Structure 1
Amino acid sequence: MLKNGPIALAFNFLVVVFVLAPLVIVCLVAFTPETTLSVPTTSFSLRWFEAVFQHGDFMQAFKNSLWLAAISATISVVLGVPAALAIARHSFPGRDALNALFLSPLMIPHLVLGVALLRFFALIGSAGSFGWLVFAHVVVITPYVLRLVLGALIGFDRSIEHAALSLGASRTTVFFQVTLPLIIPGVSGGWLLAFINSFDELTMSVFITAPSTVTLPVRMYMYATESIDPMMAAVSALVIALTAVTMFLLDRIYGLDRVLVGSK
C-alpha cells in the first residue's frame, strides 16, 4: 500500500491536470488582447468580456438559459421528490416501470430526443414555445433529481417521522418540518445538477428552440459556425465562473460533503 502511494498520488495529480487544463487555457484565452485564439503573454485585456456584454444576442440567450434552467430544475424537483418517496418507500404494481420511465431519458441519445420532440411539437402546433422548451428540459433533467433524492432516502430513519405523527403532527407538517430538512442535501444537489445540465444542454435544444427562445449553448454554436474569436472563450469563462459560484454557495449553505454523501 505504501509503495503504491506515490504512484497513486501522481496518477491522481495527472488526472486532475488533464481535466482542469482545458478550462484553465480557455479562461486564459478569454483575457487575450489579440483577435485570435491565443494565450496572452505580454498583457491581459477585458475587451472580449466587454464585447460579450455589448452583444445583445448573447445577453438575451444568457437570460433565456438562466430562466430555462431555473424553472426546469425547480419543476424537476417538484416531480422528482414525490416520485422518489413513492419508489423508495412503497411497494405497488408498476413501481419498477415508473422508475424505468423516469430514468429512460438517460438511455436515449439527446439527438434522438431532439428530433422526436421537434416532430411532436410541430404536430401540435407549438414549435418554438418557451413552455414546451421547459417541458423538454424537464424530461431530460428529472432523472438526475430522482437519483440523488433516492440516494438521500437510503438509510433514512423513519422513526423520527413516526414520532412526529404520534405527537399529533399532520403528514404535511411532517414532510416539510422533518423529512424535507433531512433529505435537503440530496434535493439541493439534484436541483444543482439539473440546473447545470439544463443550462448546458445543446444537442436537443438546437432542434426545438426558436429565434425568441435561443439558449446560450445554441447561440454559441451558431456563432462558432460563423467566426472563431476569443469572445467564445470569454463566454465560456463566464459560464465556468457561474458554475463555480453556484458550487461555492451550495457548499456554504449545505456542504458539498453532505450532498455527495446523500447522492451515494
Structure 2
Amino acid sequence: MSKNGPIALLFNALVIAFMMAPLVIVCVVAFTPGNTLSIPTTQFSLRWFKAVFAHSDFVQSFKNSLWLAFLSATLATAIAVPAGLAIARHSFPGRNFLNGLFLSPLIIPHLVLGVALLRTFSLIGATGSFFWLALAHVVIITPYALRLVLASVEGSDRSAEQAALSLGASQATVFRRITLPMILPGVTGGWLLAFINSFDEVTMSIFVTAPSTVTLPVRMYMYATESIDPLMAAVSALMVALTAVAMLVLDRVYGLDKILVGHK
C-alpha cells in the first residue's frame, strides 16, 4: 500500500459516512415511540409504520407511485432501446443532436419542466390524466435508461449478430435472440434506475398531479407542510428499504458492476 493509501481510505470512509448518515438517522427515527422526531434511546416501536398503513391517503398514493413508476419506466425503456441502438451503431445526420435531445432533461431544472408541462397540459385539456402524468415522467427518466442502454450496446460484441445474419436470420430474430439478451443487463438496469427516479420524483409532479393521481412523494410534501412527526420518517424508511431491495435483487440477478460497465 502506498503512503497515501490510508489517507485515501479515510477520505472515502468519511464521504460514505457523510452520505449515509442522513438515511441512517431517518431510519432510526422511524422506530421512535414518541410524537416527535427524536432518536429512540431505550425503546423502539413499530407505531409509526402501523400508522402509515392505516393512513388511507398514503396507501393510495403509494399505489399511484408504484403503478406510475412501472408504466413510465417501461415506456422510457421502450424508447431507450431503439434510440440507444441507433445512436451507438449508426451514423446519420442529427445523431449528436438526437443524443443531446434525449439527455437534455438532465440539465433542465424539474421546476421549469413542471411549469412548462402544466401549461401544455392545460392547453390540450390533459390535466388530471394519469396517462399524461406518466408521459411527463417519461420525459425526465428516459435519460437514465438511455445511458445504461448505450453503455451496454457499446460494450457488446457484434460478431454473433453478424454470424446470425450471414446464416440467413432476419433482423427481428437477431434482435430477439441475440442482441436483446446481450444488452439485457443494461436494459434491466436502465429500467430499474428509471423506476426509482420516477417513484422518487416530487418537484415536477407537484405541478402536474391531480387529487386523484397524487404520488407518494407529493403526498409526503403536502403532509410535511402541515405536520412534522415520525410518520414522515417511517414513510421515508419504507422508501429507502424498497430502493435497497430493488438494487439488491438487480445485483443478485445481473451484478451491478456488469450493468455499469455495459458488459453481460
For the superposition of Structure 1 and Structure 2, which TM-score range results when normalised by the shorter chain?
over 0.9
Q: Which residue of 2 aligns with 1:39?
A: 39
Query: How many angstroms apart in 1 are the aligned matches of 2:155 and 2:53?
Result: 48
1:236 aligns with 2:232: no
TM-score (norm 1): 0.97
User: After superposition, what is the alpha-carbon deviation per residue over 1:62-102, rounded to whole angstroms, capped at 9, x for unaligned?
Assistant: 00000000110011110000001111111111212211211
Query: How many angstroms apart in 2 are the aligned matches of 1:96 and 1:255?
Result: 30
Conserved in 1, the CA contact under 8 Å of 2:155 and 2:261? no
Q: Which amino acid aligns with 2:16?
A: V
Report the Cα offset of residue 168 of structure 1.
2.4
Uncovered stretches (5+) of structure 1, i.e. residues with no partner: none
Size of the alignment, in residue pairs? 263
Query: How many angstroms apart in 2 are the aligned matches of 1:246 and 1:19?
Result: 19
Report the Cα offset of residue 244 of structure 1.
0.6
Query: How many angstroms apart in 2 are the aligned matches of 1:57 and 1:156?
Result: 46
Q: Which amino acid aligns with 1:185?
A: P
Q: Which amino acid aligns with 2:153?
A: L
Q: Which residue of 1 aligns with 2:165?
A: 165
Query: How many angstroms apart in 2 are the aligned matches of 1:150 and 1:170?
Result: 23
Q: Which residue of 1 aligns with 2:131?
A: 131
Q: Which residue of 2 aligns with 1:224?
A: 224
Q: Which amino acid aligns with 2:112?
A: V
Q: Which amino acid aligns with 1:168?
A: G
Q: Which residue of 2 aligns with 1:254?
A: 254
Stretches of 4+ aligned residues off by more than 6 angstroms: none
Report the Cα offset of residue 155 of structure 1.
3.7
Name the stretch that deviates more: 166-175 or 197-206: 166-175
Report the Cα offset of residue 231 of structure 1.
0.3
Q: Which residue of 2 aligns with 1:195?
A: 195
User: After superposition, what is the alpha-carbon deviation per residue over 1:83-127, rounded to whole angstroms, capped at 9, x for unaligned?
Assistant: 011111111112122112111111211000000000000011111
Q: Which residue of 2 aligns with 1:98?
A: 98
Query: How many angstroms apart in 1 are the aligned matches of 2:223 and 2:155?
Result: 48
Q: Which amino acid aligns with 1:32?
A: T
RMSD: 1.0
Q: Which residue of 1 aligns with 2:19?
A: 19
Q: Which residue of 1 aligns with 2:177?
A: 177
Query: How many angstroms apart in 2 are the aligned matches of 1:108 and 1:26?
Result: 29
Conserved in 1, the CA contact under 8 Å of 2:29 and 2:37? yes
Uncovered stretches (5+) of structure 2, i.e. residues with no partner: none
Query: How many angstroms apart in 1 are the aligned matches of 2:126 and 2:38?
Result: 43
Report the Cα offset of residue 167 of structure 1.
2.1
Conserved in 1, the CA contact under 8 Å of 2:156 and 2:262? no
Q: Which amino acid aligns with 1:194?
A: A
Q: Which residue of 1 aligns with 2:48?
A: 48
Query: How many angstroms apart in 1 are the aligned matches of 2:228 and 2:101?
Result: 41
